[in-house]
Amino acid sequence: MTLHECLNRGRIKIPLIGRDAKSVLYEIVSLDETLDTDKVVKTLLERENEGSTEMGIGIAIPHARIPGLDSVSVSVGISPEPMDFGGSVLTSVIFVVLAPEKSASDHIRILSAIVEKCSAGRTVEALKNASTSEEVLSILS
């Protein structure tokens, strides 16, 4: 399973409208109509309360294990105005990673792939400036 396989253009939101973690998580999670948005957002926020997943570069990766999922899914939201996601710097790009309960290996692999992709400064800048889903898919492929 690769990051590319977990992404699709229907799960990319640009621009995010919300100005706080809860609002933007609702925007991103609701892209997948098969999910119980309230429940998933609550789970993600509980995890964020233990420590923000903002990486110190304006990118956050909120993630959770969700019972009933078949495979790892990745959704992306980009905020034109950096916002407070609880980390050390303001956040522009949010990856929501949801994984089945028993898939620790795949979950770690996808989180690691996102971290690796975002370790290149030019990738981070390109994501922050992306204005279409196609651009995001191109940057991450």
Residues binding other proteins (CB under 8 A): 1-2, 4, 47, 50-56, 61, 63, 87, 102, 104-109, 111-113, 115-117, 120, 141
Nearer to other proteins, 42 or 47 (CB): 47
Instruction: Provide the minimum distance between the beta carbon of 109 and other proteins in the complex, in angstroms, as a whole number.
Output: 7
In the complex, least distance from residue 22 CB atom to other proteins, rounded to whole angstroms: 19
Distance CA 38, CA 51 (A): 20
Fill in the amino acid letter for 70: D
Tell me if 1 sits within 8 A of 71, measured CB to CB: yes
**Of 39 and 102, CB closest to other proteins:** 102
Closer CB to other proteins, 17 or 58, in the complex: 58
Q: State phi, psi for 89 to the nearest 5 degrees.
A: -130, 165
Q: Which residue, 15 or 116, has its beta carbon nearer to other proteins? A: 116
Closest contact distance (angstroms) between CB of 17 and other proteins is 25
Q: Which is nearer to other proteins, 17 or 71 (CB)?
A: 71
Nearest to 58 by CA among 82, 81, 22, 25: 82
Q: State in angstroms the smallest separation of the CB of 65 from other proteins.
A: 10
| Tokens 């620790």, located at residue | 104
CB atoms within 10 A of CB 139: 16
Phi-psi bin for 52: left (phi > 0), alpha (psi -120 to 50), beta? beta
